[in-house]
């Protein structure tokens, strides 16, 4: 990558990093994991920057990398006797919950922690990014039927773990 391309890459990241980091936060629920996830995706983008910039599709590539990376991390963890988070939470080291402003945010943040990365990915793509099922299926490399069933099961789970989501609109 020459100097001009690097400059363009920096400008692209500067313009997009806020939105990208918010998505990464939703996917991981964890500031450092979000940073690691985004950094990894951006590094992959950087290696292909010139061709992707010319094709006009860096956003699509980056989004795919973010979601793929997050789901593949989960796959690895699932297959490896992962022991992280085996201990009970220690309140002394808990950082203030970023969703502390409203009951919905508090409850939803907690409920999202109970989902698998793949479930989170489906939910974020569908209800945060507002993407159609076919596009979600394409990003996650699965069938539309899988997206549909994952969404259904995850919503059912969230109804239980986050009762605030089921409140009637009139009760808000």
Contact 165, 158 (CB under 8 A): yes
Among 2, 4, 54, 56, binds other proteins (CB under 8 A): 2
Phi/psi of residue 20, nearest 5 degrees: -65, -40
Residue 152 interacts with other proteins (CB under 8 A): yes or no: no
160 binds other proteins (CB under 8 A): no
Kindly state whether residue 26 participates in binding other proteins, applying the rule CB under 8 A: yes
Of 52-60, 70-78, 131-139, 141-149, the segment contacting other proteins by CB under 8 A is: 70-78
CB 42 within 8 A of CB 90: no
Burial of 91 (0-12, 13-18, 19+ CB in 10 A): exposed
Q: Could you give the C-alpha distances from 144 to 6, 58, 156, in angstroms and in order?
A: 37, 24, 18
Q: Which two tokens stand for residue 147?
A: 């997206």
Does residue number 18 form part of the binding site for other proteins (CB under 8 A)?
A: yes
Work out the angle between the directed axes of helices 3-28 and 58-79 (0-180°, nearest 10): 50
| Binding range to other proteins, per CB under 8 A, among 21-29, 52-60, 136-144 | 21-29
Site membership for other proteins, residue 32 (CB under 8 A): yes
Measured from the CB of residue 24, what is the shortest distance to other proteins in angstroms? 10
Contact positions with other proteins (CB under 8 A) in 103-142: 104-105, 108-109, 112, 123-124, 127-128, 130
Binding region for other proteins (CB under 8 A) out of 20-28, 53-61, 131-139, 141-149: 20-28
């Amino acid at each position: 990558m020459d100097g001009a391309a690097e400059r363009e890459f920096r400008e692209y990241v500067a313009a997009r990093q806020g939105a990208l980091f918010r998505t990464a936060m939703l996917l991981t629920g964890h500031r450092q994991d979000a940073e690691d996830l985004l950094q990894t995706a951006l590094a992959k983008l950087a290696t292909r920057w010139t061709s992707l910039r010319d094709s006009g599709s860096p956003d699509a590539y980056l989004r795919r990398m973010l979601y793929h990376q997050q789901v593949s991390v989960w796959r690895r963890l699932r297959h490896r006797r992962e022991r992280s988070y085996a201990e009970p939470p220690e309140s002394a080291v808990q950082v203030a919950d970023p969703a502390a402003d409203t009951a919905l945010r508090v409850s939803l943040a907690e409920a999202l922690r109970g989902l698998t990365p793949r479930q989170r990915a489906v939910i974020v793509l569908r209800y945060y990014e507002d993407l159609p099922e076919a596009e979600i299926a394409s990003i996650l490399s699965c069938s539309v039927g899988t997206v549909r069933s994952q969404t259904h099961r995850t919503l059912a789970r969230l109804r239980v773990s986050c009762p605030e989501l089921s409140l009637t609109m009139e009760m808000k």
